[in-house]
Structure 1
Amino acid sequence: MSATKAKPKAGKATRRAGARRPPRLAPAEVEEMFARFKALNPKPTTELEFRTPYELLVAVTLSAQATDVGVNKATRRLFPVANTPRQIAALGVEGLKPYISTIGLYNTKAANVVAMAQQLIEKHGGEVPRDRAALEALPGVGRKTANVVLNTAFGEPTMAVDTHIFRVANRTGLAPGKNVRQVEDELLRTVPQAYLHDAHHWLILHGRYVCKARRPDCPHCPVRDLCRYPDKTPGEPAPPLA
């Protein structure tokens, strides 16, 4: 008589893998979501401090696995001394490090920022290109950084999906996806054209301050009634917008 293997108990990973995704928001609900975001914050922008496309490019490159607050502290010291590709290239890696040493991975970032400056000088006349392929060819620049620069510096309707946007898009049912590229593509298809330019900033700010990873602030969420997240934190809902 052959032994029958006991059926393994479902662990956390199994339950997560088999968990049903929340249903997607309907188009009218998506429209309402962004109308509320706009009413609360008509002109959202990045919390990184910058004055030129190059300063933004450097700041976003430094912000990987770092907070905007920490990057701003570093760039407030750096940019008065060097805020052009030629000035950064002249500093060199060892000259740049003291200005950004409070930021995580600063050794690698210093090497990338200096190499980026040199490539901008050699291939783009010291200017930040308004072209995705050219941006992504720069040292230390990936798709997300390129999307931020294209959107914030040049006004392109791009969607830079970070951990905050990925969480909000999946949790609310706005644009579910298994990876950041899927979520990016879904958002570009889902977000109404009238809101697309600013959607990136609204979603980041919402994820950073309201729809937080460990304990979302559902009672004060302006889109709580639209959100499909089944495990909302308890509390009295915020009053509706006037």
Structure 2
Amino acid sequence: MNQQKRIQILTRLRENNPKPQTELNFSSPFELLVAVTLSAQATDVSVNKATDKLFPVANTAHSIYALGVEGLKEYIKTIGLYNNKAVNVIKACEILIEKYNGEVPEDREALESLPGVGRKTANVVLNTAFGWPTIAVDTHIFRLANRTKFAPGKNVVEVEERMLKVVPAEFKVDVHHWFILHGRYTCLARKPRCGSCIIEDLCEYKSTLKRRFTPKNKFTDKVLKAKGLTG
């Protein structure tokens, strides 16, 4: 994909959603850190249901640490992998209290040193809480970057590095939100909704399908649709 097409894609996504926001509920960098930690292999909806009950009771490092692992589990037990997540959140709270006075550090290395916090979570916190031009590559962004040929890569690190190179500065703060939302609601994993996609004419996904299914195979648009390969 050439750069002109990338800019057109980003421009349309921005026009459609000028101020994209995460779908996780939070009101502070600490709440965001906890929510993103809990969201691993879980939906934002399930995390919000848990934190909507948790945060009114405990929403600081000190107050969640006071709950203890077992106390925290009672609030997040509806979320996948809640046992390990409870342990990690409590350990992270302990470190935040001891080293950072309970505050979330605006520092990548410090964030990634916390239990349960990897590169993706650190990127989300730095971007969403502090406005850094970072790009957190999740499954939606990885799929979208490869499927459209916007920034193909064999793994999330390659996709992140590629996107950081090709996305102009004016789009970097918001691009990961645009891609997540587009992947979540339009460019679905099994059956992308191409017919309702605002960047369909710029996407290179369909041209890939056409190369895969040549005329001699007698695959028509109807057959492709039946196989869930088109919108």
Could you tell me which residue of structure 2 aligns to residue 73 of structure 1?
Answer: 49
Which whole-Å CA distance do the structure 1 matches of 2:198 and 2:149 have between them? 15
Q: Residue by residue, what CA displacement relative to the aligned partner does 1:121-142 show, whole Å, maximum 9, x if unpaired?
A: 0011110000000000001100
Could you tell me which residue of structure 1 aligns to residue 215 of structure 2?
Answer: none
The count of corresponding residues between Structure 1 and Structure 2 is 213
Deviation at 1:34, TM superposition (A): 0.5
More helix by share: 2
- Mapped pair 1:231 → 2:209: yes
Could you tell me which residue of structure 1 aligns to residue 118 of structure 2?
Answer: 142
Which whole-Å CA distance do the structure 2 matches of 1:91 and 1:123 have between them? 20
The residue identity in structure 2 corresponding to 1:66 is A
Look up the SS of the partner of 1:73 in the other structure.
Answer: helix
Look up the SS of the partner of 1:231 in the other structure.
Answer: helix
In structure 1, runs of 5+ residues without a counterpart are 1-24
Matches within 5 A, 1:68-107: 68-107=44-83
Could you tell me which residue of structure 2 aligns to residue 16 of structure 1?
Answer: none
Matches within 5 A, 1:160-199: 160-199=136-175
Structure whose alpha-carbon radius of gyration is higher: 1
The residue identity in structure 1 corresponding to 2:13 is F
Q: Percent identity?
A: 64
- Mapped pair 1:132 → 2:105: no
Q: Residue by residue, what CA displacement relative to the aligned partner does 1:113-157 show, whole Å, maximum 9, x if unpaired?
A: 000000000011110000000000001100000000000000000
Which whole-Å CA distance do the structure 1 matches of 2:140 and 2:70 have between them? 33
Deviation at 1:231, TM superposition (A): 3.2
TM-score (norm 2): 0.90
- Mapped pair 1:48 → 2:2: no
Q: Residue by residue, what CA displacement relative to the aligned partner does 1:163-185 show, whole Å, maximum 9, x if unpaired?
A: 00000000001000000000000
Which whole-Å CA distance do the structure 2 matches of 1:92 and 1:133 have between them? 26
Which whole-Å CA distance do the structure 1 matches of 2:41 and 2:83 have between them? 13
Look up the SS of the partner of 1:155 in the other structure.
Answer: coil
Which whole-Å CA distance do the structure 1 matches of 2:71 and 2:153 have between them? 42
TM-score (norm 1): 0.86
Which whole-Å CA distance do the structure 2 matches of 1:173 and 1:152 have between them? 26
Which whole-Å CA distance do the structure 2 matches of 1:28 and 1:223 have between them? 13
In structure 2, runs of 5+ residues without a counterpart are 211-223
The residue identity in structure 2 corresponding to 1:32 is Q
Instruction: Specify which structure has the bigger relative contact order, considering alpha-carbon pairs within 8 angstroms and separated by 6 or more residues.
Output: 1
- Mapped pair 1:35 → 2:11: yes
- Mapped pair 1:153 → 2:121: no
